Amino acid sequence: MEHTYQKTQTKSDPKNGVATLLHTLVEVSDWDAKNDPHIDESLKPIPNDPCMNLAVIDEYRTPLFWDIEREIRIIGVLENFYAWAKRQDDSARYQEAYSFYLQHRVTPYTVYRRLKDQLRFLMDRIEESDIPEESIPDVQRYKELIKKCRDLVNKENAAFRKSFSQKSAEEQDLVDATSDNIDIWEAYLKSLENRKNAPPRQLTQNDQKQLLEFLKTKIEAGVIDGKTTLPPNLQDYISDFPEAMHLELREFAEEVLEDQPDNGAATKILAIIVWESKNVNSGEADRDLILLEQAMNLAHKDTKICYFAIRKYDKAYDPLFHLTLTALERLFKRSIRQGESGLYGWLVKLYNEIGRTPCHIHRNLMKNPDSNAELIERCKPLIDQMLQTF
């Protein structure tokens, strides 16, 4: 009855924002593929209403199907919400809306990742079918939407600057931007050591800028003597970087690869960032396996990317250990060149952090020895080398 009344009010008075809001909230709560809530029409009378925009954000969080129009809509909704938030004082309503926004984790980077995945999928199809890219109009639409996501990051920062500034009020820049001797990465690691039992450090805008410049320089350097000059164990720290840095690094690395397809540093940092928070069970990993493969081939002496690959290969998409064994073989080969002490260190990490050691793989393969004969044979020299090293 209430739903019918709201629909009647909306039809008789299309500019009635309250009726429109209530009507849309009810329809969104019953959302399915056959029930279009007509969100575009609903937003017209109240485009900057925080409740309306947050309701759409909530609906977007658990999509039932892929649709580029949904991405266009959510970008518009985020723009509306940021425009509203930017004009607010630091009131209880502002903080409540911001808290709701954080809980739902639909950010410019969320949309950006989905668009990048779909664009890559589309480009793969174009490459397989030999169709000219210019003949597929959606390619250009995706690229334009990705650019919008990059612009949205600045709008998000402007909208929540009050909250961001409160969080980082007690934080000082890692290093003085005017200093002649800046070692931003050393300063970053030192700051983490000082906060072992505290929440992750809030990077200031200046920190982010300097870290980006530092990492971009390492990416541009590419591969030197078979290795990159990216910081050791970067993959252990990059998840703590703000989403804006992830987006910027991904875009920069891809731009570098367009001019330098053999740049192993760009491929390595792409593999590390893209594989963060990946939903393997939904098949997201399938097309990204090539990133790890390219990084290992281009940085052919880099043990760290091999180890990162082993950490990411699990039973969800490597049930027969083909990929893990290949990465292990590369890790052993590269570590041996660096001396037995190097291999010992990696083996200790394998035991303590992952457990996917040659012995573990061998035990699992022996459950079906006939069908796994080839892989079992590949395990044996790795076990011998492991025993020798220990």
More confident residue, 286 or 77: 77
Closest C-alpha among 201, 107, 204 to residue 159: 107
Question: Rounded to whole angstroms, how far apart are CA atoms 363 and 360?
Answer: 5
Average pLDDT over residues 219-224: 96
Is the Cα torsion angle 143, 147, 148, 153 positive or negative in sign?
positive
SS3 191: helix
Domain ranges, ordered by start, for the chain: 47-166, 212-299, 313-390
Residues 6+ apart with CB under 8 A from 31: 37, 59, 64
Closest by Cα among 118, 121, 141 to 72: 141
Range of lowest pLDDT (137-141, 213-217, 290-294): 137-141
Q: Which residue has the higher pLDDT, 187 or 130?
A: 187
Residues 315-348 have pLDDT tens digits of 777 888 999 999 999 999 888 877 667 788 888 8
The confidence score (pLDDT) of residue 1 equals 40
Is the distance from CB of 379 to CB of 328 less than 8 angstroms? Answer: no
157 Cβ contact partners less than 8 Å away, ≥ 6 residues apart: 164, 244
Would you state the structure tokens that stand for residue 376, as one six-digit string?
Answer: 């079992």
What was the pLDDT predicted at 4?
47
pLDDT tens digits along 370-390: 999 999 999 999 999 888 888
Examine the pLDDT at 206 and tell me if it is beyond 80: yes
Q: Would the pLDDT of 135 be above 60? A: yes
pLDDT in tens, 150-170: 999 999 989 988 766 555 555
In this structure, are residues 192 and 238 in contact, taking their beta carbons and an 8 Å threshold? no
pTM here?
Answer: 0.82
| Res. 191: pLDDT tops 50 | yes
Q: What is the pLDDT of residue 368?
A: 93
Q: What is the mean pLDDT of residues 33-39?
A: 53
Average pLDDT, integer, range 20-36 = 57
